Each structure stands twice: as structure tokens, then as C-alpha cells.
């Protein structure tokens, strides 16, 4: 949106075109503006028979208290891996349960996680200082020219 123009009008126009909405609920709940938006979505979506999907974020320690009208909707819970919350959310949005994100074999996932994990170089400590060349230091600490 162009700065200086009222975004509320644009939001109202978009609500009429949206076919599904996810309401993300974190550990701090929601504020007054989010309540107004959520109520507007609920009214419009009930009229149009569109899904309003409560999504509980992984940072929530306990199940948050949802507003009365939202509490009656089946939620997606990102605090649990079973069922896969991303698949549940996709199903809620698209209405198609069989859409799948390609899954990798567990061994490959474990290997990729290990590859992404920061590498900690093993450095043996000596009781006395040791002079090393710049080239040796680069090799030992995995340094490059930058």
C-alpha cells in the first residue's frame, strides 16, 4: 500500500476476497485491534461458509483461552508434531487433505540437521604456548580470507 493511505479500507476490500483465515494465537493472546479484526472475519466467513482456523503457536506453554466464537473452531496446534500442524493448516486452508509437502527419509532429515548445526572445532589445549603460522591458524580455526 502507498504510504499515507488508509489501510483499513484496503483490509475491508480484501476480506471480501479471502477464502480462509488463520488466527495465530501466541503466549500473549491478542489485543483489542485483533479482536475487532477477528470478529469481522468471523461474521463475514460465517455468512460465506469459509474456514476461520485458530493456530496455536509453539511458544504457548498452555492452551490459550480462545474467544467464545473462535473456541468452537477446530484449531491447529504447533506445539505438537502429531498430527503434522503444517499439513493440518494446509488442509484447513485448501480443503484438500491429501496435499503433502514432500517428506524426506528420517535418516536424511537427521543428517541435514547435523549439517546445518554449527560446527565446533576441536582444539587441544597445551600447557605451554605454541607458535603457529598464519596458514596453520587458518586451517585449525577454519578461517577464510574475510
Which residue range forms the structural domain that includes residue 48? 10-94
Asked, for residue 116, whether it belongs to a domain, the answer is: no
What is the number of structural domains in the chain?
1
CA 137, 139, 145, 146 dihedral sign is negative
**Neighbour-count burial of 89, counting CB atoms closer than 10 A to its CB (0-12 exposed, 13-18 middle, 19+ buried):** middle
Rounded to 10 degrees, the C-alpha dihedral 69/73/79/85 comes to -150
Any domain includes 25: yes
Model confidence pLDDT, tens digit, residues 23-81: 888 887 666 777 777 777 778 888 888 888 989 999 988 888 877 777 888 889 999 98
How much is the pLDDT for 113? 60
- C-alpha 132/C-alpha 71 separation (Å) is 65
pTM, full prediction: 0.57
Residue 2 lies in a domain: no
Amino acid at each position: 500500500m502507498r504510504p499515507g493511505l488508509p489501510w483499513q479500507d484496503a483490509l475491508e476490500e480484501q476480506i471480501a476476497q479471502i477464502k480462509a483465515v488463520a488466527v495465530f494465537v501466541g503466549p500473549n493472546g491478542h489485543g483489542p485491534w485483533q479482536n475487532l479484526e477477528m470478529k469481522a472475519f468471523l461474521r463475514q466467513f460465517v455468512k460465506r461458509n469459509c474456514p476461520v482456523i485458530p493456530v496455536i503457536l509453539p511458544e504457548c506453554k498452555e492452551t490459550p483461552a480462545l474467544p467464545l466464537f473462535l473456541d468452537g473452531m477446530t484449531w491447529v496446534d504447533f506445539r505438537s508434531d502429531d498430527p503434522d500442524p503444517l499439513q493440518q493448516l494446509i488442509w484447513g486452508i485448501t480443503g484438500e487433505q491429501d496435499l503433502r509437502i514432500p517428506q524426506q527419509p528420517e535418516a536424511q532429515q537427521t543428517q541435514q540437521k547435523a549439517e546445518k548445526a554449527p560446527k565446533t572445532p576441536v582444539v587441544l589445549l597445551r600447557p605451554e604456548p605454541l607458535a603457529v603460522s598464519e596458514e596453520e591458524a587458518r586451517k585449525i580455526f577454519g578461517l577464510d580470507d574475510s
